[in-house]
Amino acid sequence: MSKKIFSGVQPTGNLHLGNYIGAIKNFVSLQNDPNNFCIYCVVDLHAITVKQNPFELKKNIRETAAAFIASGLDYKKSIIFNQSLVPAHAEGSWMLSCIARMGWLNRMTQFKEKAGKDKEKASVGLYIYPVLMAADILLYDATHVPVGEDQKQHLELSRDIANKFNLDFDSPNFLTPPEPLIQKNFARIMSLKDGTKKMSKSDPSELSRINLNDTSDQVLNKIKKAKTDNDPLPDNQNELSKRPEAENLLGIYSSLSDQPLNTTIKEFSGQNFSSFKEKLADLAVHKILPISKEINKLLKDENFLDNVLIEGAEKANQIASEKIKQLKKIVGF
């Protein structure tokens, strides 16, 4: 069956190994299946739901596009663009915000986490963030959305919005409820400093994550300093699941070498961390460095990156503006 894929990544700073393994690596495999039509968006409208420095934002939009391309996304095969260049996203988001219910948004755990204790001070944009995400997806009739586990609830909201719209306006199948595509393995890459915490852009410790534009010395150093425990590596998955740091590092190795976790467990069972870390560091440098070099090369050519995004936006706009036209007609404008 042919799939229409849509996904987005926020341009909010350095992309890291978690983004690569949890998201971008899958975007590339999906793109390389000729049955799929893929659209990948740098979601800059989402980024401004929290305060951004305009200069940094511009830089981060280009950097995210560069990371997409350097990781293997091909702007000739997939549509790659940034959200703010296509007005339909903001317009669709408004119309869908009149469908979504306060009660639905009040249940969103990401808002609760991001807004923290002082909800009154969170932006209204942060609150309706998931409605904008629904517009992103529904405007393109995307059937499948590759995301991390943390976005599952937002996908369910997109489905609820699509179904309610279709019902309220008696327009069955006009909006397509999307299916999430959540990887079974390695869906959560953890911090190198704490195997129980997600690897994240916002972690104050640089040693907690490997950035996609790190140098080989940085990658080697971060793996060398990664937290471990004192036992030799286990010989089965059950034992491994009780040791978060070991589980994370073996998971990273498995994903980067495209081999099942059990094969990796067999390969290193009984060995100590220092010899495993040497192998992991070699592999990580081998996989990350070409990406890092390519990102840095692409960033030198701002015109090229801007043009990829503009041309992608033209293609996206053709699809999304047509959907908005139909949406407006259905609503009664």
- The catalytic residues are 114, 198, 201
* Sheet of strand 179-181: strand arrangement: 79-82, 36-42, 3-9, 144-146, 179-181
Q: Quote the least distance from Cβ 54 to ligand AMP, whole Å.
A: 19
Q: Is 166 in the site for ligand TRP (CB under 6 A)?
A: no
Instruction: Look up residue 170 and give its two tokens.
Output: 């008696």
Cα dihedral sign, 155-203-60-14: negative
DSSP state of 98: T
Residue numbers of the site for ligand AMP (CB under 6 A)? 9-10, 18-19, 21-23, 147-148, 150-151, 187-189, 198-199, 201
Within 10 angstroms of residue 188's Cβ, the number of other Cβ atoms is 16
**Which residue lies nearer to ligand AMP by CB, 49 or 143?**
49
CA 312 to each of CA 76, 116, 254, 318: distance values in angstroms, whole numbers, following the listed order? 9, 36, 33, 10
Instruction: Look up residue 119 and give its two tokens.
Output: 């909800």
Q: Quote the least distance from Cβ 164 to ligand AMP, whole Å.
A: 25
232 φ, ψ to 5°?
-65, 160
Q: Is 137 in the site for ligand TRP (CB under 6 A)?
A: yes
Partner that binds at residue 69, options ligand TRP, ligand AMP, none, CB closer than 5 to 8 Å by kind: none
Residue 312 C-alpha from the chain's centroid:
18
Judged by CB under 6 A, the chain residues 271 through 330 that form the site for ligand TRP are none
**Which residue lies nearer to ligand AMP by CB, 43 or 99?**
43
Q: Quote the least distance from Cβ 60 to ligand TRP, whole Å.
A: 14
Q: Is 7 in the site for ligand TRP (CB under 6 A)?
A: yes
Instruction: Look up residue 198 and give its two tokens.
Output: 């997600």
Task: Kindly tell me which residue out of 147, 210, 305, 313 binds ligand TRP, with binding defined by CB under 6 A.
Answer: 147
Partner that binds at residue 234, options ligand AMP, ligand TRP, none, CB closer than 5 to 8 Å by kind: none
Using the rule CB under 6 A, give the single segment among 6-14, 118-126, 228-236, 257-265 that binds ligand TRP. Answer: 6-14
In angstroms, the CA 297 to CA 131 distance is: 36
For residue 6, the cross-strand partners are: 39
| Mask for 36-55, x = binds ligand TRP (CB under 6 A) | -------x--x---------
CA 333 to each of CA 137, 167, 318, 324, 327: distance values in angstroms, whole numbers, following the listed order? 22, 18, 20, 11, 9
**Which residue lies nearer to ligand AMP by CB, 198 or 287?**
198
Q: Is 247 in the site for ligand TRP (CB under 6 A)?
A: no
14 φ, ψ to 5°?
-50, 125
Give the length of the chain: 333
Instruction: Look up residue 90 and give its two tokens.
Output: 């903001």
Using the rule CB under 6 A, give the single segment among 61-69, 147-155, 194-202, 271-279 that binds ligand TRP. Answer: 147-155
Q: Quote the least distance from Cβ 160 to ligand TRP, whole Å.
A: 15
Cβ contact 43:11 at 8 Å: yes
Place of tokens 């940085």: 218
Q: Is 19 in the site for ligand TRP (CB under 6 A)?
A: no
Please give the residue ranges that form the binding site for ligand TRP (CB under 6 A): 6-8, 10, 43, 46, 133, 136-137, 145, 147, 151, 154
